[in-house]
Amino acid sequence: MISILVAIAKNGVIGKDNDLPWHYPSDLKYFKLVTTGHTVVMGRNTFESIINRNGRPLPNRKNVVVTRNKNFMYDGVEVVNEFIKYLEQDHKEEIFIIGGSEIFKYSIPYADRLYITHINKEYPGDVFMPEIDMSLYELISKRDEGELSYCVYERKSK
């Protein structure tokens, strides 16, 4: 199963200067809770932003980095060059696509579940969430906390 996990501002912004434009400790906690013990898949830019922030890949998770660079290597990280082939594999366990925008764009058609933290505030930024046809999904859970709304959507059965 392929899941997308993302925090999106009211104006569609998800990133600024290859970082998150905001700091919500509760959202980081949620991210950790949902993804720990699982596979997290990210684009090379998002991976670099995590390394800049934390100095290491995300602990206690299998880190998969998507890049077209065939020479890319990093300790403790699995590298994927052929992203569409990877998405089309039969993923029996839930894998989490954690961004950024370019990686989401390719993943959206394959996403069975969406974990979206809606931020009820506009932020300036330079990276936006690609459009998702939400009529294909149904809301299965929602929790509001201040200006954040943690929602989970599942693809409607055909």
- x/- site string to ligand NAP, residues 97 to 136, per CB under 6 A? -xxxxxx--x--------------------x---------
Q: Does 18 bind ligand NAP (CB under 6 A)?
A: yes
**What is the C-alpha to C-alpha distance for residues 18 and 16, in angstroms, rounded to an integer?**
5
Q: Under a CB-based contact definition with an 8 Å cutoff, are residues 43 and 155 in contact?
A: no
Tokens 């954040």 correspond to 148
Q: Does 69 bind ligand NAP (CB under 6 A)?
A: yes
- Residue number with the shortest CB distance to ligand NAP? 100
**What is the C-alpha to C-alpha distance for residues 79 and 42, in angstroms, rounded to an integer?**
10
Q: Does 43 bind ligand NAP (CB under 6 A)?
A: yes
Q: Does 54 bind ligand NAP (CB under 6 A)?
A: no
Number of residues that bind ligand NAP (CB under 6 A): 28
Find the binder of ligand NAP among 2, 4, 20, 108 (CB under 6 A).
Answer: 20
Cα Rg of the chain, angstroms: 15
The Cα-based distances of 152 to 99, 104, 125, 126 in angstroms read 17, 16, 24, 25
Shortest distance in whole angstroms from residue 50 CB to ligand NAP: 9
Q: Does 58 bind ligand NAP (CB under 6 A)?
A: no
Shortest CA distance to 2 belongs to which of 126, 106, 150? 106
Token pair listed for 89: 């594999």
Q: Does 83 bind ligand NAP (CB under 6 A)?
A: yes
Where along the sequence are the contacts to ligand NAP (CB under 6 A)?
A: 6-7, 14-16, 18-20, 42-46, 49, 66-69, 81, 83, 98-103, 106, 127
